[in-house]
Chain A
């Protein structure tokens, strides 16, 4: 237990650093761009407009308020993709520093994912704008949003650690992962309703139970789009998957972290 305590203590000790790194990422992301932070909102809006124009014709009948449906799914996917991708590259990116100073290596992975999370939270503004524009109701269940965000954040941390560790040894992972993320985008009912897939039983089963992203999308849509509490299955499942991923990620990261220095 003392090891765990030690870990927590270092985490506390380096919390300012994590925060400073998060701030750096956010600052540098939009530095020198005219709209600055506004891009966190504008970017998902623009993509939403494109996707809505393309897909709303197809699914108009099955889905009411398509822009909100689309945005709730896509923003979560975007967060998962961005945070894990940048987490994956965090170790090689900071190699020069890691070679010179002793800093717990996970700090960099964690700060990358965290800054993506902050960016995601900021971009929620886009969702609110769309909801206002489409005159969608703001149900009280929306107050549960942080619960879902924390779940997916933990999941992303776990996945990010796993990928970061893999990426040190096999740089190829970066390219494979891009394709995996695109596949995940289409294997999750983001642009289409799940009801469209009724005939493909196996696929529906896969999406409903084995696609981790679906657990969070379902919960998020329930509280924001449908204005109801998420089902117990997905709520409990969401937490379990998040922590399982974190344990796996931390386990592999810790196991190989001392070898990183030899490969970066």
Chain B
């Protein structure tokens, strides 16, 4: 009877107690019983499933993992009892048992054939009769008397399939077992199942591969979360299922994309630091340690601002002029030494005037060379006499000012030409206030600085900046204006170390700077001038000084002598807007202009101005660091 209903599932509901709180020991049971907590969290694996299967039909069950496919088949095989509803099955069901589950691993294949056959409900005689057939189809040949534990999963699957299908069961249940095994065997299995179908066997086939369901089945049920989503013709159901899966994948991808985008959007910085110079780097370092997120941008293609040093064949070249770190500030010295080690260096420049060489700063070495005097008291007297002879009481210009401080000899040879070159004007035309004092030392001490600590960072200033900016995001060749236009929401506050007048679009006019120009040259000699800095004080020589970079690291020169050297001639340059600004010109006019900008800056919400250009101030490096530390600490104390 082809139309006979062989499986009738009515309103089937299967309930599980969730494994989460499985009580399987007495102690727990007793405790829970006493506490009256013996309530199981229930979980409905199937919810009100109904369908009818007629003889000879092939039904496929598809759905994602945990949708209830296997549970449904277990209910049909009688392994699970309905919680609600009923399952009636007419005929003998043969389940294709999952890999090796029906086998005793210690028994041989021969013994397992009997055991498994009996489990499936065959009689002993029947198995004996079909024994050869089973072995042949399973194709296990020589392994018939080996324990099944030595079998590969493919062999076990073959044997299992072979035993289950040796007779035509009324209902064959296949639960994703054929996914293993090689292609040849799979096609063999499919052929046998097709044959069984034509012979009138009813097939129940579980898979999440919609294609194989379409191939094997004429009807299909799509299950999800224990409910039937779609039931009917295999092609229709499978196509709908596949479409839905694809849709789900799309949705998931879309969601992932959106999450990613959102995440990127949320990646805000606490501080946008404009300028990767010393001020910005120190500020970033402190904020980073305090757990703030900083982004440092710089217009240049390198970090470090004007203290940037470049390694040229083992020599650290100070690209923007000589930088010698010196400080009296214990805190700052400790701070920089925590970042990188410092090599010892004492700045003792030399001045060249015509054919004469003098030590700087003006000290007993200078004076004894100039006048042949040895006694400091005599030198002091001589200078005082020279100054007194001039009789200047109210210096009208720089020349008179300098003369009244050092006397004509020192002035002529060491001050005049140099100062005129620097300012590009005659000393008589320069205001007196530029030089407030010219210190004179009556000791034989050539150390230019009076500070307690002095040195050059090992590996150059770039190494120091790199270290400060470790784990901080840096974007180079990025202009502040362009950046905020494109990313207006990426940061909360700004630290601006660029030119303050530029920030305000030169609203009140340009602040003025002094600029410098360098001519750097490689010379194939081991030692060019014997000192890091040599000043040229004659007006006729166009450069103010020559820097020989290797002498900033005397230790390296000793340890690793190089056959060449790199020198930079430093030329003063008149600054015009657009040029690299070096020194702020802190005269009355410019200071007044700066004050106007500063007032604007004070009103600017969320922007901190700092550094040489941001504060329009001639800063030594240690002062810059101290200022940055102070600003950062103030910022951290600020209540949001």
- Residues of chain A whose beta carbon lies under 8 Å from any beta carbon of chain B: 13-14, 16-17, 20-21, 24, 27-28, 31, 96-103, 169-173, 176, 258, 261-263
Are B93 and A99 interface neighbours, CB within 8 A?
A: no
Q: How far is the CB of A92 from chain B (nearest CB, A)?
A: 10
State whether A99 and B119 are in contact (beta carbons under 8 Å apart), knowing that A27-B111, A28-B106 are contacts in the complex.
no
- Whether, in the assembled complex, B369 has its beta carbon less than 8 Å from a beta carbon of chain A, the answer is no
1/0 per residue B101-131: CB within 8 Å of A?
1101011000100110011110110000000
Which residue of chain B has its CB nearest to the CB of A169?
B24
Q: How far is the CB of A253 from chain B (nearest CB, A)?
A: 15
Are A20 and B118 interface neighbours, CB within 8 A?
A: yes
1/0 per residue B504-530: CB within 8 Å of A?
000000000000000000000000000
Which residue of chain A has its CB nearest to the CB of B121?
A13
Q: How far is the CB of A180 from chain B (nearest CB, A)?
A: 14
Q: A residues within 8 A CB of B74?
A: 99, 261
- Inter-chain pairs besides A17-B118, A97-B97, 20 sampled, C-beta below 8 Å: A13-B121, A14-B118, A16-B124, A20-B118, A27-B111, A28-B104, A28-B106, A28-B107, A98-B79, A100-B97, A101-B97, A101-B119, A102-B78, A102-B95, A170-B25, A172-B26, A176-B26, A258-B81, A261-B80, A261-B81
Q: How far is the CB of A93 from chain B (nearest CB, A)?
A: 11
Q: How far is the CB of B407 from chain A (nearest CB, A)?
A: 107
CB proximity to A under 8 Å, residues B60-102: 74, 77-81, 93, 95, 97-98, 101-102
Are A24 and B77 interface neighbours, CB within 8 A?
A: no
Q: How far is the CB of B237 from chain A (nearest CB, A)?
A: 26
Which residue of chain B has its CB nearest to the CB of A32?
B106
Are A102 and B26 interface neighbours, CB within 8 A?
A: no
Which residue of chain B has its CB nearest to the CB of A257?
B81
Are B98 and A172 interface neighbours, CB within 8 A?
A: no
Docked pose: A16 CA to B119 CA in angstroms: 9
- Whether, in the assembled complex, B320 has its beta carbon less than 8 Å from a beta carbon of chain A, the answer is no
Which of B25, B101, B123 sits near A16, CB closer than 8 Å?
A: B123
Docked pose: A17 CA to B121 CA in angstroms: 8
State whether A102 and B93 are in contact (beta carbons under 8 Å apart), knowing that A16-B124, A27-B111 are contacts in the complex.
yes
Which residue of chain B has its CB nearest to the CB of A92?
B24
Which residue of chain A has its CB nearest to the CB of B25?
A172
Are B29 and A170 interface neighbours, CB within 8 A?
A: yes
Q: How far is the CB of A95 from chain B (nearest CB, A)?
A: 9
1/0 per residue B403-442: CB within 8 Å of A?
0000000000000000000000000000000000000000
25 contacts between A and B (CB under 8 A): A13-B121, A16-B124, A17-B115, A17-B118, A20-B115, A21-B115, A24-B104, A24-B107, A27-B107, A28-B104, A28-B106, A98-B79, A99-B79, A100-B95, A100-B98, A100-B101, A101-B95, A101-B119, A102-B78, A102-B93, A102-B95, A169-B24, A170-B24, A258-B81, A261-B81
- Whether, in the assembled complex, B448 has its beta carbon less than 8 Å from a beta carbon of chain A, the answer is no
Docked pose: A249 CA to B77 CA in angstroms: 26
Docked pose: A99 CA to B124 CA in angstroms: 23
Q: How far is the CB of B435 from chain A (nearest CB, A)?
A: 97
**Tally of A-B Cβ pairs under 8 angstroms:** 72
Q: B residues within 8 A CB of A16?
A: 118, 123-124
Q: A residues within 8 A CB of B101?
A: 96-97, 99-100
Q: How far is the CB of A147 from chain B (nearest CB, A)?
A: 30
Q: How far is the CB of B257 from chain A (nearest CB, A)?
A: 41
Q: Among B77, B119, B124, which residue has the most Cβ atoms of chain A within 10 A?
A: B119
Q: B residues within 8 A CB of A102?
A: 77-79, 93, 95
Q: How far is the CB of A177 from chain B (nearest CB, A)?
A: 12
Docked pose: A9 CA to B79 CA in angstroms: 19
Q: A residues within 8 A CB of B24?
A: 169-171, 263
Q: How far is the CB of B27 from chain A (nearest CB, A)?
A: 7
Are B77 and A101 interface neighbours, CB within 8 A?
A: yes
Docked pose: A20 CA to B29 CA in angstroms: 37
- Whether, in the assembled complex, B22 has its beta carbon less than 8 Å from a beta carbon of chain A, the answer is yes
Are A20 and B114 interface neighbours, CB within 8 A?
A: yes
Q: A residues within 8 A CB of B77?
A: 101-102
Q: How far is the CB of B411 from chain A (nearest CB, A)?
A: 104
Are A103 and B80 interface neighbours, CB within 8 A?
A: no
Q: How far is the CB of A188 from chain B (nearest CB, A)?
A: 26
Q: B residues within 8 A CB of A171?
A: 24-25
Q: A residues within 8 A CB of B26?
A: 170, 172-173, 176
Docked pose: A263 CA to B17 CA in angstroms: 9
Q: A residues within 8 A CB of B121?
A: 13
Q: How far is the CB of B497 from chain A (nearest CB, A)?
A: 70
- Whether, in the assembled complex, B16 has its beta carbon less than 8 Å from a beta carbon of chain A, the answer is yes
